[in-house]
Chains A and B, each alone.
Chain A
Amino acid sequence: MTDTNPGTDVLRGEHLSKSFGAVRALDDINLRLGRGEVLALLGDNGAGKSTLMKILTGFHQPTSGTLHIDGEPVTLQSVMHARSLGIEPVYQDLALVDELSVFRNMFLQREITRGGALRILDDRAMRRAAASHLERMGVNVPSVDVEISKLSGGQRQAVAVARAVYSDARILLLDEPTAAMGVRESALILDVIRRLKEHSDVSVIIVAHNYAQVFDVCDRINLVQDGRITFDRPTRETSIQELTGLVVNEYRSASEAVTG
């Protein structure tokens, strides 16, 4: 899973930088993601995580540096372009529609239809496919007919992840999947990620600021601080204590710099 041979990396970023006017949001980022690997991008708000995420989804283009997918250099033109290459983002707002049922959300924008140009929804087929897919992924919902608004935060997140996987995603980008969630709720979504790891070779990048929550599920941890990746190590070679120490040190040096 943590092979150092770059040939097996599904995604690689080399010397990625991004500036917004005079502000340098990302500074010479080197990033790699192995096949089937779960990588956690940890860092505080404003550290550059979201900018990096937006470059990977094709929303922003880097000011300099290159992205490689399966070893081939690519320039992601747009979010749709990135998705066509198998990069599927799950945004914090989850892009679920409260008023629609679970199965209709699962198939949003890739509905199974019949009746030619009339595009009549084949609810039966979508219902069946959604139910079996959710079961395979270990996502528990009361029924695929339930409206999204009736689900808990963890269940919604799980549905959003399941939907992304269903679209033949090869690289899943999860933006703060456990933000504002209780322990039980986040356990739900972490279970889904674990199951994904066991049963598929989908690679996952989890962007988070609460590293304790994602620690158990990721293979490797990158720490993003001040627009750079300051720490890159397999999870089993580090500990929550060490990470806490690194972050606290950064705070200390930052506040020393301020107070002189």
Chain B
Amino acid sequence: MAYQENIETTGAPRGRSAGEIAGDWYRRAIVLLQWREASITLAGIALVIYFQWTSPYFLSADNLGVLGQFAAATAIIAAGEVMVLVNRELDLSVGQVYALAPLVMYFAQQAGTPLPVAVVLALAAAAFVGLLNGAITVGLRVPSFVTTLGMLFFVNGFNLTISGGFPVQPEAGAFWKTLFGGNIAVQVAWAVVLVVIFQFVLTKTRWGLHTIATGGNPIGAAEVGIRTGRVKIGNFMICSVLGGFAGILDAFRIESVDPLAGGTEIMFMAIASAVIGGTLLTGGSGTVVGAFLGAVVLGILKDGFTISGVNAYTFDMILGIAIVVTMIMNVHISRIRAGGKP
């Protein structure tokens, strides 16, 4: 997806030798591999074929709904992680923000705030956590791994304190409930819309360009006058807000605001989605669409194994292998992309 629009693909006109046509196909294959999301797409297609073959229910509407449940929230958070990862940073606290936002929304409602305002307040709280993550990382030069690790524990404790440790039920009229993900199709639609928006932001806007520059060459970006600190803080805020929003959607879907929801599990799933989707941990390179496909592939794995009756313990083992194998594939396909250079 990343500015490959200029690679020319010439169709094979009639009357050419078999060798030339084979050359064309070879070139097309290379063009396909140059597409950053190639490996994750191939992995996804292979898995769908495999699970559909083992269970005819895999592609049924019901099961696709279950798949959406597995993938939608993770994909939204992964979009945020991609922005942070491209900045050469990391956000470990987003899983706790996922639980914080619906709690803030709930308590705002309890205090008499109408729901839409409560949602805005919840997202503002999430943004504030991102602001702190960014300000501490940039201003006090603490590695984001440490800043957000601390934030993970702090927000978790905060969530448990304000809720007393018990889950509560979100309250909303039918319209708002549906709009905010009470229906899985709506939630998937949110995920798709947000992924498209952030892929656009990353590849087609000044903000995205400065995000890539800040992660790819931090000193150089600062030398040309990009305010790299501001870019990083902004992306921490984006990641937190997306985490909070995903939490609100899930709270309405499962009709519960649980202070222990999400947590490290959903955070690691989001980072895994980003990484197997083709985003580098070394910064400067990433794809939101890839992360979305990564979340879908992880969803397919989880859902497919559930249908085939593989138990949860085995799932984690296979997930672990899948992450490393896709990463290895990515490294080698990137090498082909780079024209044989290591």
Contact = CB atoms under 8 A, between A and B. Distances in A.
A108 B209 contact: yes
A104 B219 contact: no
Contacts of B338: 149-150
Nearest to B338: A149
B339 to A, nearest CB: 7
A104 to B, nearest CB: 6
B119 to A, nearest CB: 23
B213 A108 contact: yes
Contacts of B217: 93, 95-98
A100 B219 contact: no
Interface stretch (B71-79, B96-104, B136-144, B220-228): B220-228
A225 B220 CA distance: 29
Contact of B226 (A108, A121, A123, A143): A108
Interface string A85-98: 00001010111111
Contacts of A145: 3, 6
B225 A80 contact: yes
A189 B75 CA distance: 46
Contacts of A119: 205-207
B2 to A, nearest CB: 9
Nearest to A83: B225
Most B CB atoms within 10 A — which of A94, A104, A108, A111? A108
A109 interface: yes
A176 to B, nearest CB: 15
Interface in B117-154: none
Contacts of B221: 95, 97, 108
Contacts of A108: 209, 213, 221, 224, 226
A91 B223 contact: yes
A100 B209 contact: yes
Given A95-B219, A145-B3, A118 B209 contact: no
B254 to A, nearest CB: 35
B211 to A, nearest CB: 11
B284 A99 contact: yes
Interface in B198-222: 204-207, 209-210, 212-213, 216-217, 219-221
A113 interface: yes
A194 to B, nearest CB: 25
A123 B205 CA distance: 10
B285 interface: yes
Contacts of A104: 209
A198 B180 CA distance: 64
Contacts of A118: 205
B66 to A, nearest CB: 36
A118 B217 CA distance: 24
A101 interface: yes
A221 to B, nearest CB: 27
A91 B3 CA distance: 27
Nearest to B214: A97
B209 A99 contact: no
Contacts of B339: 150
A254 interface: no
Nearest to B207: A119
Contacts of B213: 97, 100, 108
Q: Which 6 pairs, one residue from A and one from B, show the smallest C-beta to C-beta distance?
A: A95-B220, A119-B206, A95-B223, A99-B284, A97-B216, A99-B216
Given A91-B220, A93-B223, A111-B209, 7 more contacts: A94-B220, A95-B219, A98-B216, A108-B226, A109-B226, A121-B206, A145-B3
